[in-house]
Structure 1
Amino acid sequence: MDVRDLGSVYLGGTEPSTLIRAGHIRARSAEAAEEADALFRAERPPHCLHWF
């Protein structure tokens, strides 16, 4: 997993299964992808209070 993909998953903006379908990361099984989605799921979507 590339650091950019890890950052998007860790910060809650992208589910691992989305990155798998896009070909950015690989999963050993469908169950692993579902488990990763559940582990990284956030209660709320990410939001930035400051505009640059």
Structure 2
Amino acid sequence: MSLSSHLQELKRKHASLSEAVEAAQRAPGMDRLHVAELKKQKLRLKEEITRLSETRLH
């Protein structure tokens, strides 16, 4: 898998997690621990995207 396609896949997963977080926060009786875990996953993806994007620029 090329770096570009890997970045696109990470961005797709990040967007999917964003939607999941929003849906979980709107749901009645949301599980805060589940939302927190989704946010952590989203942050890890964002950090990986940033790291790979910076690597690609250098």
TM-score by length of 2: 0.30
Please state which structure has a larger fraction of its residues in helix: 2
Work out which of the two has the higher radius of gyration on C-alpha atoms and give 1 or 2.
Answer: 2
TM-score (norm 1): 0.31
Greater RCO (Cα-Cα under 8 Å, separation 6 or more)? 2
